[in-house]
Amino acid sequence: MRRALWALGLAWAAAAAAADADLERARKIVSGRCFLCHGFEGESSSGLYPRLAGQHPEYLAKQLLDFKSGRRKSQMTEMVADLDDAEIRALGVYFSKQKPAPHAPSDPEITAVGRYVYHRGNVYSGVAACASCHGPDGAGTPQLPRLAGQNALYTETQLKQFNKRERTNDNAVMHTIASKLTELEIKAVAEYIAGME
Ligand code: HEC
Ligand code: HEC
């Protein structure tokens, strides 16, 4: 019994050490290149780049694998070309552990429109409420990305890319939604999302 417990303890310690080593590797990769655009803590240096802090690790790893294979066409492909699966998973875990920070509230008139679209959709044009998939607080799930606190410019760009299917991986659901959004609704929902905590 004691021997079994001891072996279990060793296995646990080995797993913990491996996880620490993976995170250390991820930190090195981030400080080598990712920080330039996404920041050391996933906070992003410009609205053009997505904030990664607090995003689900499974979603991050999936997107990185899709960049690598070319399923999601992007300038990101060259950033991840030489990374292996373990490094990609570790990068997902690294950014998921960073604390997301909300943006300062913007124009209250436009965020009010965005709040309506986010929580109620648009029954007149057949847009489903974003909250029904991404959650009322924008926290998402491992398959549905967290949106809360995302840069408005990035959200806007992605919605336009989904509309034109320029976001090339798994775009079916979001294409249907984005194709029905007006310019005003896109702008408004992106502003509202940026201020969500
Ligand atoms: C030169 C700037 C730049 C660098 C460096 C960079 N990225 Fe990116 N990253 C982007 C841009 C731009 C996008 C948006 C993708 C698009 O629209 O094509 C993006 C998107 C992503 C996404 C998708 C996020 C989402 O919400 O779907 C992940 C994950 C990501 N980057 C991780 C990384 C990692 C990890 C590194 C380092 C290995 C890295 N990036 C280095 C510019 C950069
Ligand atoms: C029926 C479910 C569903 C609804 C409703 C929905 N989404 Fe999505 N959304 C998804 C899925 C699934 C993905 C992930 C696609 C992937 O895996 O690449 C996604 C991805 C996104 C992304 C990309 C995030 C990133 O980090 O790159 C944005 C932005 C987005 N949705 C915005 C919205 C907005 C705004 C609304 C409301 C107008 C909305 N979604 C409604 C399912 C949904």
Is any ligand 2 atom within 6 A of the Cβ of residue 155?
yes
Query: Which residue owns the Cα nearest ligand 1 atom 25?
Result: 50
Task: Please state, in angstroms and rounded to a whole number, the distance separating the CA atoms of residues 174 and 33.
Answer: 30
Average pLDDT over residues 158-172: 98
Task: Please state, in angstroms and rounded to a whole number, the distance separating the CA atoms of residues 17 and 155.
Answer: 37
User: In this model, does residue 190 exceed pLDDT 90?
Assistant: yes
Residues of the chain with pLDDT > 90: what percent? 86
Token code pair at residue 151: 């840069």
Query: Which residue owns the Cα nearest ligand 2 atom 17?
Result: 170
- Look up tokens 């709040």; give the residue: 115
Q: How far is the CA of 140 from the centre of ligand 2 (A)?
A: 9
pLDDT class for 30, splitting at 50, 70, 90?
Answer: very high
How many angstroms separate the most distant Cα atoms in the chain? 67
The confidence score (pLDDT) of residue 12 equals 67
Using an 8 Å Cβ cutoff, are 169 and 161 in contact?
A: no
Query: What is the distance, to the nearest Å, from the Cα of residue 142 to the centroid of all Cα atoms in its chain?
Result: 10
Average pLDDT over residues 43-49: 91
Please provide the average confidence, as pLDDT, over all residues in the chain.
94
Task: Please state, in angstroms and rounded to a whole number, the distance separating the CA atoms of residues 124 and 194.
Answer: 25
Is any ligand 1 atom within 6 A of the Cβ of residue 80?
yes
Average pLDDT over residues 28-32: 98
**Nearest in space to 94 (alpha carbons), one of 61, 140, 63:** 61
**Which of 95, 173, 180 maximizes ligand 2 atoms within 8 Å of its Cβ, making it the mutation to test the pocket?**
173
The confidence score (pLDDT) of residue 191 equals 97
State which amino acid sits at residue 74: S
Ligand 1 atom showing the smallest separation from residue 75 Cα: 18
Is any ligand 1 atom within 6 A of the Cβ of residue 145?
yes
- Look up tokens 């109620």; give the residue: 120
Task: Please state, in angstroms and rounded to a whole number, the distance separating the CA atoms of residues 107 and 112.
Answer: 9
Residues 6+ apart with CB under 8 A from 119: 129, 130, 131, 136
Is any ligand 2 atom within 6 A of the Cβ of residue 11?
no
Residue 19 vs residue 5, higher pLDDT:
19
CA of 68, nearest ligand number: 1
Is any ligand 1 atom within 6 A of the Cβ of residue 91?
yes
